[in-house]
Amino acid sequence: MDAVFVLLLFVLVLSIFLGVELISKVPSMLHTPLMSGANAISGITIVGAILTSRAENIESELSFALGMVAVFFATVNVVGGYLVTNRMLVMFKKK
Amino acid sequence: MKILNTIFSETTNGALVNVVYILAAVLFIFGLKMLGSPETAKKGNLISALGMLIAVVVTLLDQSIVDYKWIFVGLVLGSLVGAVAAMKVKMTAMPEMVAIFNGFGGIASLLVGSSEYLSSVPHNIGILVPIFLTVVIGGLTFTGSLIAYGKLSETITGNPIIYKGQQWINGILVIALLFLGIEMIALQGLFITVDWQILVAAVALSFLLGVLIVIPIGGADMPVVIALLNSYSGLAACAAGFVILNNVLIVAGALVGASGLILTNIMCKAMNRSLTNVLFSGFGSVISVNGSSDEQGEIRPINVEDAYLILEAASSVLVVPGYGMAVAQAQHAVRELGELLEENGSEVQYAIHPVAGRMPGHMNVLLAEANVSYDKLIEPDDINPTIETTDVCIVIGANDVVNPAARDDPQSSIYGMPIINVDKAKTTFVLKRSMAPGFAGIQNPLFFKANARMLFGDAKASITSLVAEFKA
């Protein structure tokens, strides 16, 4: 296995532990916005989608086309996810 | 754009791009941390969104991008669809909205993996393994989420779909996928010589698996399923990160994966069931035999006038909402009643069970939308120890989460599930349409307890009449 792969695996494991720590502290009151907010973060695959516009992908029309459809879906996920989370969170008020 | 491209490629050689990705990851982490409290949550979401924005912008500056036209088409169309959906969706429909967005995240990752598979990037094992995982996880997240969406929006039946040999068929499907994985990764096309044929087969099997694993799960268990699919959509993004060796995809994907797993775990605990039981048992498909029938007896109906008189004299009132409140759209009437009770000198709180509603925290969002102050929303553990001193509990559209059989009757199929002990309060009003059993199809001994009063009728109409009595 090459070094980059092992390093990224290390990053993965640490991120999971960090995620567990962070999420355990979110009160159940906020679990719906947490879920839609986390959902928006999973739209990070948009970065991979944009990068399918490189020469290696464009050589194959199918590869490029699939990548651009991915841009669309990931964008829906990101934009919709953050907006709807924001819409929910502004409603949480204390009187 | 050309100038920026040049600056980036000449001065940094890609290192700066990765530094910016790390910054984006830090913003995601801070964003999630700030979601830990209602005071900071909104800001946290904005910080997380900022992280996403800079990740996208820095990616667009990547010097290896050849064609921008279609990227912008995708970005603009996607933003439009996402924004319209986010603005239009009703808060009661939030579970299906999150379900469909999970699905979109899954399909996006699947498409990224597929695109890389069909590209001319050299296919070594280090890239083929994550490509395969991205396709499989992304694919089953996509169709699984569509089925969850269908069940939640009631476009398909919420009942579990069970057939003989179901586990076997799923097992065979998993084995077939494993073989396909070996063919794709290790044999690299020994049996199937055309790249896209292997890919199509992997996509098809993953799609099928996603459908088959969600159809046997009942509508009442959908909170667990959405949480789990949420986790999968993160893991798919994570796998895509290994395909393109990108740190921000891995960190963000892992955070979402962990988040979904924790929520799944919380939901399962709140129902006292294992994940295996939720996924494979087809819970709710048969009306369970519920312990001894002699616990049943006389029910005591009450009318609005008498309910008003009791509430008028109550010094503490606890509202226990369930999915029925969302169905009846009664949350605004409930808030109005709560305000009138407070004006009358009662202390009003709202006890929300973790699995009330169709997704974790759903009831909190509905009450927040109706303008209920969030410090009045409390968890079962905070109210149960002192519930004996509560004058009146009002159960609105909740059933299983207040079923004392879960506490007292070892024969009950929900035995061991933590509940809100409304049967121990001085008086409990149960707002219900009829005597039909709850979502899980289980009879509720609460209705026959001496302190229980049944207020029959549409929940919203009943609450509105109570409001009218207070105003009269």
Q: Which residues of B touch A75 (CB under 8 A)?
A: 74-75, 77-79, 82
Residue B259 and residue A35: Cβ atoms within 8 Å? yes
Check if the beta carbon of residue B341 is closer than 8 Å to that of residue B348: yes
Dihedral sign of CA atoms A79, A85, A91, A95 in order: negative
Which among B249, B280, B311 is the end of a domain? B280
Which among B255, B280, B305 is the end of a domain? B280
Residue A68 and residue B83: Cβ atoms within 8 Å? no
Residues B310 and B212 in one domain: no
Strand B427-432 with B316-321, pairing: unpaired
Residue A50 and residue B60: Cβ atoms within 8 Å? yes
Residues B323 and B269 in one domain: no
Residue B441's pLDDT is what? 59
Give a yes or no: residue B233 inside a domain: yes
Give the tokens for residue B273. 């069931």
Give a yes or no: residue B401 inside a domain: yes
Mutate one of A1, A7, A76 to test the B interface: name it (highest B CB count within 10 A).
A76
Check if the beta carbon of residue B206 is closer than 8 Å to that of residue B131: no
* Total tally of structural domains belonging to chain B: 2
Strand B427-432 with B452-456, pairing: parallel
DSSP result, A38-84: HHHHHTTHHHHHHGGGBHHHHTSHHHHHHHHHHHHHHHIIIIIHHHH
Give a yes or no: residue B436 inside a domain: yes
Residue type, position B249, single letter = L
Residue B162's pLDDT is what? 82
Strand partners, B455: B431
Distance from CA of B312 to the nearest CA of A (A): 23
Q: Is B349 helix (H, G, I), strand (E, B) or coil?
A: strand
Tell me how many helices (H) and strands (E) chain B has. 18, 6
In this structure, how many other beta carbons lie within 10 angstroms of the beta carbon of residue A91? 19
Residues B322 and B388 in one domain: yes
Q: How distant, in Å, are the alpha carbons of A7, A22, B247 from that of A10? A: 5, 18, 11
Distance from CA of B136 to the nearest CA of A (A): 15
Residues B309 and B261 in one domain: no
Residues B242 and B320 in one domain: no
Residues B372 and B233 in one domain: no
Q: Is B403 helix (H, G, I), strand (E, B) or coil?
A: coil
Residue A41 and residue B28: Cβ atoms within 8 Å? yes
* Average pLDDT for A50-65: 89
Check if the beta carbon of residue A40 is closer than 8 Å to that of residue B105: no
Distance from CA of A63 to the nearest CA of B (A): 4
Residues B298 and B268 in one domain: no
Give a yes or no: residue B165 inside a domain: yes
Question: A–B: how many Cβ contacts below 8 A?
Answer: 393
Q: Is B394 helix (H, G, I), strand (E, B) or coil?
A: strand
Residue B246 and residue A53: Cβ atoms within 8 Å? no
Range of the domain at B118: 2-280
Which among B251, B280, B309 is the end of a domain? B280
Q: Which residues of B touch A36 (CB under 8 A)?
A: 94, 97-98, 101
Residues B369 and B436 in one domain: yes
Give the tokens for residue B49. 């969104």
Residue A29 and residue B364: Cβ atoms within 8 Å? yes
Strand partners, B377: B350
Give the tokens for residue B438. 């709850």
Residues B246 and B355 in one domain: no
Mutate one of B26, B115, B244 to test the A interface: name it (highest A CB count within 10 A).
B115
Active site residue B400: yes
Residue B287's pLDDT is what? 44
Give a yes or no: residue B399 inside a domain: yes
Q: What dihedral angle (degrees, nearest 10) is formed by the CA atoms of A16, A19, A20, A26? A: -170
Report the alpha-carbon angle B425-B430-B433, nearest 5: 175
Residues B34 and B84 in one domain: yes
Distance CA B291, CA B289 (A): 6
Give a yes or no: residue B334 inside a domain: yes
Q: What dihedral angle (degrees, nearest 10) is formed by the CA atoms of B396, B437, B300, B366? A: 0
Q: What is the ipTM of this complex?
A: 0.95
Give a yes or no: residue B287 inside a domain: no
Q: Which residues of B touch A78 (CB under 8 A)?
A: 52, 56, 78, 82
- Which candidate in B67, B195, B382, B400 is catalytic? B400
CATH of the domain at B424: 3.40.50.1220
DSSP code, position B55: H
Residues B233 and B323 in one domain: no
Note down pLDDT in tens along chain B; length 472 residues: 555 554 455 444 477 888 999 999 999 999 999 999 999 999 999 999 999 999 999 999 988 888 899 999 999 999 999 999 999 999 989 999 999 999 999 999 999 999 999 988 888 888 899 999 999 999 999 999 999 999 988 888 878 888 888 888 889 999 999 999 998 888 876 777 777 888 999 999 999 999 999 998 887 788 889 999 999 999 999 999 999 999 999 999 999 999 999 999 988 888 888 888 887 776 655 444 444 444 567 888 898 899 999 999 999 999 999 988 988 889 999 999 999 999 999 999 999 998 888 888 999 999 999 999 999 999 999 999 999 999 999 999 888 889 998 888 888 878 888 999 999 999 999 998 877 655 555 678 888 888 999 999 888 999 999 999 998 8
Interface subset of A 64-83, CB within 8 angstroms of B: 64, 66-83
Residues B420 and B302 in one domain: yes
Residue A1's pLDDT is what? 57
Please name the residue of chain B whose CA is at the shortest distance from the CA of residue A94: B373
